[in-house]
Amino acid sequence: MDEKIDLRPKAKEYCGVFGVFGHDDAARLTYYGLYALQHRGQESAGIVSSDGRFLHEKRGMGLVPEVFKERDLAKLHGHIACGHVRYSTTGSSILANAQPFIINHAGHSLCVGHNGNLVNAASLRRKLELEGSIFQTSMDSEIVMHLLARRIHLGFEEALLEALQELRGAYCFLFMTEDTLVAARDPKGFRPLCLGRLGDSWVVASETCALDLIDAEFVREVEAGEVVFIDKRGLRSVKPFPRQRHSHCIFEFIYFARPDSQIFQQTVYQVRKCQGAQLAKEYPNLEADFIMPFPDSGNYAALGYAMASGLPFEIGMIRNHYVGRTFIQPSQDMRDFGVRVKLNPVRELIQGKRVIVVEDSVIRGTTTRARVANIRRAGAAEVHMLVSCPPHRFPCHYGIDFSTKGELIAANHTVDEIRDMIGLDTLGYLSIDGLLEGTHTSKEGFCLACFDGNYPVPIEECEGKFALEKC
- Please check if 249 is assigned to a binding site: yes
Q: What angle do CA 384, 385, 390 make, to 5 degrees?
A: 145
- Please check if 172 is assigned to a binding site: no
Q: What angle do CA 268, 46, 197 make, to 5 degrees?
A: 50
Beta bridge partners of 218: 196
Buried-exposed string 412-449: b where 16+ CB fall within 10 A, e elsewhere = ebeeeebbeebbbbebbbbbbebbbbbbebeeebbbbb
Residue 239's nearest CA partner among 227, 230, 251 is: 227
Buried-exposed string 244-272: b where 16+ CB fall within 10 A, e elsewhere = eebbbbbbbbbbbbbbebbbbebbbbbbb
Q: What angle do CA 419, 425, 430 make, to 5 degrees?
A: 60
Choose the catalytic residue: 15, 82, 111, 471.
15
- What is the four-CA torsion angle of 205, 208, 213, 218, rounded to 10 degrees? 90
Q: State the amino acid at position 276 in one-letter form.
A: G
Q: Which residues contact 64 (CB under 8 A, 6 or more apart)?
A: 31, 34, 35, 38, 45, 85
Q: Which residues contact 234 (CB under 8 A, 6 or more apart)?
A: none
- Local structure of 446: helix, strand or coil: strand
Distance, in Å, from the CA atom of 313 to the CA atom of 326, rounded to the nearest integer, reads 30
- Local structure of 215: helix, strand or coil: coil
- Please check if 450 is assigned to a binding site: yes
Annotation says 82 is catalytic:
no
What is the enclosing helix (H) or strand (E) of 372?
helix 366-377
Neighbouring C-beta atoms of residue 96, cutoff 10 Å: 11
Distance, in Å, from the CA atom of 360 to the CA atom of 388, rounded to the nearest integer, reads 5
Distance, in Å, from the CA atom of 307 to the CA atom of 358, rounded to the nearest integer, reads 13
Report the relative pairing of strands 227-231 and 181-185 from DSSP bridges: antiparallel
Please state the residue numbers annotated as binding site: 249, 396, 447, 450
Binding residues for [4Fe-4S] cluster: 249, 396, 447, 450
The residues annotated as belonging to the active site are 15
